[in-house]
Structure 1
Amino acid sequence: MTESQGGDTPASRAHEAEIALADPAYREAVVDLLGVLAYGEISAFERLAEDAKLAPTLEDKVAIARMAAGEIDRVEPLHRRIRELGGDPFVAMAPFRSALDLFHEHTAPSDWYEGLIKAYVGDGLADDFYREIAAYLDAGTRELVLSSLEESTHAAFVVDRVRAGIASDHRLGGRLALWGRRLMGEALIQAQRVAAEREALSALLAGGVDRPGLDLAALGRLFTRLTERHTERMSELGLDA
C-alpha cells in the first residue's frame, strides 16, 4: 500500500494482510515460499557445516561454523509463520527438497575456495530471487522474508579470503570465475524448475497483493537484475562474471 492510499500504518498493514490471506491461492503461495526458504536455510546449514572441514585454519573453521549457525537460526521464524497460516512446516518444505538437493549435488565444491564462492555468490543469487518475489507479498510476510535474507556480516570474511587466494595464485581467479558462472547457470535451472512445478508460486508472480503481475518484459528485467547483482558480487571477489 502506498502513502497516497492511507499510509503504511500498523492498521493499514494488518488490513492488507487480512485481505490477502483470505485468498486461499495466495495463502498457498506464501506457505510454498516460506517452505522453500526454510529448506534452503537447512540445506545451507548442512553445506556450510560440511565446508568447514575444508577450512585451512582454525580461524576459518570457526568463521564457517558461525555462518552455518546463522542459517539454522533463521528456520524457526519461517516455521512459526507457516504454522500461523495453518500449514505444517515439514509438509511445506518437502516439495522443494529434490530441487535444492539436486542443486547442491551438482555444485558440490571441490576445495575451500569453491566453497567460499558458493556460500557468497550461490546463496546471494537465491536471496536476490526471493527478494524479487517478496515484492508481491503482504507487508508482514514481506518483512519476515526479507529479514531471513539479510546479508551476513561474514561477507567481508569471504571477500578477504578469496581476494587473498587470488593474489597468491593468479591461476585461481580463472578457475573461480568459471565456477561462479556454473553456479549462476545451475541456480537459474533450479529456480525455473521450482516455478514450473509449483503453480501457486507462479501465480504469485502473475499478480500480487498490491502490485500488478509480471509480463514477459518485466520477467526479462527481473532476470537482468539478477544477472547484474551476480556480476557485482563476482567483481567484489575480484572475479569476472
Structure 2
Amino acid sequence: MTRIVADRYSAFASLIRSDEADPVEAMQPFLTETERFMRATSGADWYELLLSLHVTSGLLIDFLIAYAGGLPESYRGPVLRALERETGQPILSSMLRTVVEANPRLGSRLALWGRRLVGDTLLQMYIAVNGGDSSTLADNAPGEGLLEPAFNDIVAGHSRRMDALGLTA
C-alpha cells in the first residue's frame, strides 16, 4: 500500500514541478483540512481503519477521475494515468471479506462505519470543489448541478464495493 501511495505522490509531484512549483508549498493550503479528514476517518480500531482506507480511497479516486475529465489535456492524461494505476483496493477488499465472513457482528459495525465514511468523504469532495467557507457554499456553488451526476456515479461505485464485501452501503 505504501508503495502505491508513494508512486501516486511522485506522479503528482512531477506534474506540479513541471509548472515550476514546489509540491510541498502547493499543497500547504490543503494540509489542515486533510489532517482533519484523516483524524475523522481513522476509526477506533484496525478493522475500522482498514475499511476507512478502502472506502475513502475508493470514493476519492472515483471523484478525482471524474474531476480530471475537466482538466486541460496536458494534465488530464498524466493525472488519469496516475489515478488509474494499481490501487490497494483488491488487497483491502480481500482482507475485509475475510474478517467479515469470520465475524458477522463485526460486519454490522463496519457497515455502519462505512456509512459515516461516505458522509465525511462526500463533504471533502464538496469542499474541494466549492471551497470551505460554509457561509457561501449554498448560494454560490459553481457548477454544483454539474457535479450531481458524478456524485451519483461515485456513490453507486461505493455501493458496489460494499456489496462485494457483504456489507450494506
Normalising by the smaller structure, the TM-score range is: 0.7 to 0.9
| Structure 2 equivalent of residue 110 of structure 1 | 44
* Correspondence 1:177 to 2:105: no
Q: Give the Å deviation of 1:153.
A: 5.4
Q: Deviations over 1:182-236 (max 9, x none)?
A: 11101111222232338xxxxxx96xxxxxxx562x3221211111111111111
* Correspondence 1:231 to 2:159: yes
| Structure 2 equivalent of residue 87 of structure 1 | 21
Distance change (3 Å), C-alpha of 1:69 and 1:82:
same
Number of residue pairs the alignment of both structures matches: 161
Q: Give the Å deviation of 1:77.
A: 2.4
Q: Deviations over 1:76-118 (max 9, x none)?
A: 2222221221322122101111111111111112222212211
User: 180-189 or 218-227, which moves further after superposition?
Assistant: 218-227
Choose the corresponding residue for 2:62, options 124, 128, 133.
128
Instruction: Report matched runs for 1:1-241 at 5 Å.
Output: 67-150=1-84, 152=86, 154-197=88-131, 214=143, 216=145, 218-241=146-169
- AA partner of residue 158 (structure 2): H
Which structure has more relative contact order (CA 8 Å, sep 6+)? It is 2
Using structure 1 for the length normalisation, give the TM-score.
Answer: 0.61
Aligned equivalents of 1:149 and 1:237: distance in 2? 23
Q: Give the Å deviation of 1:177.
A: 0.6
4+ runs deviating over 6 angstroms: none
Q: Give the Å deviation of 1:152.
A: 3.4
| Structure 1 equivalent of residue 137 of structure 2 | none
Q: Give the Å deviation of 1:176.
A: 0.6
Aligned equivalents of 1:194 and 1:156: distance in 2? 27
Using structure 2 for the length normalisation, give the TM-score.
Answer: 0.85
1:239 match: secondary structure: coil
- The gaps in structure 2 that reach 5 residues or longer are 133-140
* Percent identity of paired positions between Structure 1 and Structure 2: 35
1:110 match: secondary structure: coil
2:20 match: secondary structure: coil
Aligned equivalents of 1:188 and 1:161: distance in 2? 24
Structure 1 or 2, whichever has the larger Rg, is 1
- AA partner of residue 13 (structure 2): H
Aligned equivalents of 1:230 and 1:146: distance in 2? 19
Q: Give the Å deviation of 1:134.
A: 0.7
- The gaps in structure 1 that reach 5 residues or longer are 1-66, 199-204, 207-213
Q: Give the Å deviation of 1:156.
A: 2.6
